[in-house]
Amino acid sequence: MHTNKQYTLSELVQATKQEMEERGYSEATIKTYEKIWRMLSAYAQKNNHDQYSTAFAHDFLESKFGDLADFPRTCTQSEYFRGLNKLDEYYMYGFVSSKRPRKKAYVFPDGFDEQIRGYIDKRKSEGLSEKRIQVFMLYLERFSHFCVDIGLKQIAQISGDHINQYLAYIIKYTVSTVTNSICCIRAFLAYLYERGSIGQDISRLLPKVKHSSEDTIPSAYSREEVDSILKCIDRSSPTGIRNYAMLLLASRLGLRASDICGLTFQCIDWEENRISLVTEKTDKQGVLPLLNEVGEAIIEYLKVRPFSGSSEVFLRVQPPYVRLTSTALYWITSEYIRRSKIHVPQGKKHGPHALRHSLSSIMLESSVPLPIISDILIHSSTDTTKVYLKIDVRQLRECALEVPSAHSGKE
């Protein structure tokens, strides 16, 4: 969902600060992050660089702390990590995540709370995943508080003029965020009209903006490029051994970062040579073959894995020995892609999801049917998989990674 929007560093800092203030971050926290952002700005000025990018933030951290393979390792590094992560969140998605835990208690104003919670219960009964429910609650919380801010006291007062004001308010966000917000609010308003909570069907006044993952061509790497990334991992240390196993899971089995970091020992069936898991993104059950190459890499890591009672397989190398975050895996993958010296054009993704895209593209070029690719990647539907059809066929013909059998639990 990268916007590819170009921000100057000062613009991004100002927008991120404003977003954090709106989300209720404390003044002390914002001031702490501002110190880090000022150091980033000084680094940018020193290097005659005024445009923000994730890669540039990575370079700044590397200049400050050196090797980032197991970053962050200290409290200071964690502070830098959080501060730059806020910038990166706004740069990538157009908003900053809540300071509360992921499954936060969303607060809706009086006059809106009952109807919103009724709508959420309806969507839950329709089988919407927990992650999508959280996204809907975020959009509805933002919308309901905006309504109160402009003087509305109850849902029945909402009119077309208020909707236009809200559209003007959210235009500052990314295309994806605006589109998803509109879709969420439109469905909510239609629900209110059907229930008689509002007098007219103003959902029809919302513009229909078509934007989906199909609007973006996936970032895929060739077989040679994937091999170059894997080969540059130094497996002489516990950190390298762990990172190699994680990147194999992304490039050979197409697992998402969240599922790699959340992989538990219970997911691995050594006797049947398979991995069974419920994906964090789609809540969908998936079963994948445990390829010899992947299994051997995991076993090699388990020999050097820190002693811990954690059920997750992959842990930090330095204490506290807790599971890695998806963002940490992103930085790790980005670093190895940089070390591999492969060409990464501007706008091309350089995280673990790009390795997932690479596998799917290779399977597509190998004439693997979309439903099978969907099963291997544990997509919620084959419609999600169709996005890979847009990748240039000539590019795909340069790839020839072996594809695991979709009909066997073994390699």
Residues with catalytic roles: 256, 281, 353, 356, 379, 388
At a CB cut-off of 8 Å and minimum separation 6, what does 37 contact? Answer: 13, 83, 87
Distance CA 214, CA 317 (A): 38
At a CB cut-off of 8 Å and minimum separation 6, what does 298 contact? Answer: 245, 268, 313
Q: Is 218 left (phi over 0), alpha (psi -120 to 50) or beta?
A: beta
Distance CA 316, CA 71 (A): 9
Q: H-helix or E-strand containing 340? A: helix 326-340
Cα 24 versus chain centre, distance:
23
Q: Which two tokens stand for residue 114?
A: 């009952």
- How far are the Cα atoms of 43, 192, 391 from residue 362, in angstroms, in the given order? 40, 46, 10
Cα 25 versus chain centre, distance:
22
Q: Are 330 and 243 in contact (CB under 8 A)?
A: no
**CB-facing half-sphere around the CA of 77: CA atoms within 13 A:** 17
Closest CA to 182 of 155, 156, 211, 159: 211
Q: H-helix or E-strand containing 134? A: helix 130-149
